[in-house]
Amino acid sequence: MKKIFLLMMLIAVTIIPTACEKTPNEIADDFKLGLDVNFLEYTAQIEIKDLEDGTYPNNITLVPAADYGTSILNSAGKKNYNLSEGSITLILNPADRPQSPNEIKSFDFIASAPGYQTAKLKINFTENNKTVQMPVYLLHKTRETEGISTVSDNAELSGSQLKENKTIRFGKKSSKQTDGTIEVKAGTEFLNGSGELLSGSLLNVEVIDMDANTVKLSKIFPGGFTNQSVLKNGSRADKSFLPMSYTSINMYIGNQEVKDFSQSIKVNMEIDKNLYNPNTG
């Protein structure tokens, strides 16, 4: 009986290696991850930080400004734009890659976090610009720093119309070089992004104003000022821009953001005299 049992074990051992048609190495060589490497040809690395201290704000959200379908995805190939420690890598779908040297694939996103000013960022892909590195800086709405002023004010509404003329002053303080005003006429009506009339009891206005000589200005301005690609006589050239000022005005009725007005509003902005053009004034 023992001889028969040992013989059966020997047969089993000799059969097992020959039962596989391929060796483990051959099987590994044939294994496919299912990831198209072309997805990694065009990438954008986004990092969102606090403008003042460089930390990552809590609860950052990044949403596309339009429906781009499956044209731009996260690094896993999904339409999910959740960030990890303030960062995310986006990829361009190979089916939507630029088809000529002059074609630009452009995508707008909105970055926001509680207590911070919303920032808009634009991602541009070209055949000569396949890897985009984009730091994004969010400005805190209530943190006062040198050269920056923040103002939050309210105006009373009568239904959907501004009840009285309203003037909002910003930037008037010792740590700011320039200031300005916003004037809204009584009877002005306010609309959302869909063109729908907004109504409520109060119009909330948030203003953030920065001096032109503030070193942080080049960071907070959407897209920055350096290495901007512009078209000149049909060809592309890189240029740099010097900012004269930066003022952000956001209006809300309840939780609805105002995107349009029934009549124009007047904005007066002071320009730093040191930046005047001596030839044009």
More confident residue, 13 or 87: 87
166 with 127, same domain: the answer is: no
Give residue-wise pLDDT tens across range 27-65: 334 433 344 556 678 999 999 999 888 999 999 999 998
- Among 103, 138, 173, give the residue marking a domain's end: 138
Residue 65, domain CATH: 2.60.40
Judged by average pLDDT, the poorest of 4-18, 40-54, 155-169 is 4-18
In a domain, 143, yes or no: no
More confident residue, 242 or 192: 192
- Model confidence at 248: pLDDT above 90: no
154 with 264, same domain: the answer is: yes
175 with 256, same domain: the answer is: yes
Count of domains observed in the chain: 2
236 with 129, same domain: the answer is: no
45 with 133, same domain: the answer is: yes
More confident residue, 173 or 3: 173
Average pLDDT over residues 244-254: 84
125 with 180, same domain: the answer is: no
116 with 177, same domain: the answer is: no
- Model confidence at 139: pLDDT above 90: no
Domain that holds residue 126: 37-138
Average pLDDT over residues 220-227: 57
Give residue-wise pLDDT tens across range 187-204: 999 999 889 999 999 999
In a domain, 94, yes or no: yes
pLDDT of residue 239: 61
Cα distances (angstroms) measured from residue 268 to each of 79, 146, 214, 271: 42, 21, 20, 10
CA distance 132 to 127: 12
- Among 82, 112, 138, give the residue marking a domain's end: 138
Q: What is the pTM of this model?
A: 0.65
CA distance 39 to 107: 16
C-alpha torsion sign, points 243, 247, 248, 249: negative
pLDDT confidence bin for 2, thresholds 50/70/90? very low
DSSP β-ladder status, 260-261 and 105-112: unpaired
Residue 227 near residue 240, CB atoms below 8 Å: yes
